[in-house]
């Protein structure tokens, strides 16, 4: 799966948690979930779990800690998908 495909999939994961659809549409690697998408921090665990379910992976605390923006999140998803193979 390419980074671009995961970026598009991540938009679907994030959609229920942001009202700023324009910012979501133009999301790129640098986009920060709280600052740029105005997602409430109380939804961060929901997002991790939804991403785990979508990609059938487990995101542990050490990996979740590395996620500062969408690009970091894609890196973690790719890393976890590789670990499964």
Partner 1 sequence: MTSIGNDIVALQCTDPKRTKQKRFYSKILSPEEIEFFKSNGFQTLSFENFIWLAWSVKESVYKFHKRHQRNISFAPTKITINEFQLPSKQNDLHLSHAAEGISFKRQSCYSCEVRHDSLTFYTRSFVTGKLIFTVANDTECFNNVHWGLKEISEDGYIMQSQEVRNLTINKLRKIFLTDEISIEKSELGYPVIAQQKSIPLSFSHHGKFVGYAFVLNETVA
Binding site for partner 1 (CB under 8 A): 19-20, 35, 38, 40-42, 44-46, 48-49, 52, 61-62, 64-68
Which of 28, 40 has the CB closer to partner 1?
A: 40
Closest distance of CB 2 from partner 1, Å: 26
- Report yes or no: 69 and 47 within 8 Å, Cβ to Cβ: no
Closest distance of CB 26 from partner 1, Å: 17
Going from the C-alpha of 1 to that of each of 11, 64, 65, 84, the distances in angstroms are 15, 20, 23, 13
Sign of the CA dihedral with 26 first, then 27, 33, and 34 last: negative
Which of 5, 65 has the CB closer to partner 1?
A: 65
Which of 3, 68 has the CB closer to partner 1?
A: 68
Going from the C-alpha of 7 to that of each of 28, 52, 61, the distances in angstroms are 8, 14, 21
Closest distance of CB 45 from partner 1, Å: 5
């Amino acid at each position: 799966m390419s980074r671009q495909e995961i970026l598009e999939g991540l938009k679907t994961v994030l959609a229920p948690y942001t009202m700023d659809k324009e910012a979501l549409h133009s999301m790129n690697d640098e986009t920060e979930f709280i600052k740029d998408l105005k997602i409430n921090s109380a939804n961060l665990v929901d997002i991790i779990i939804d991403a785990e379910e979508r990609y059938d992976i487990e995101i542990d605390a050490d990996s979740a800690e590395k996620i500062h923006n969408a690009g970091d999140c894609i890196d973690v998803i790719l890393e976890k998908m590789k670990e499964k193979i």
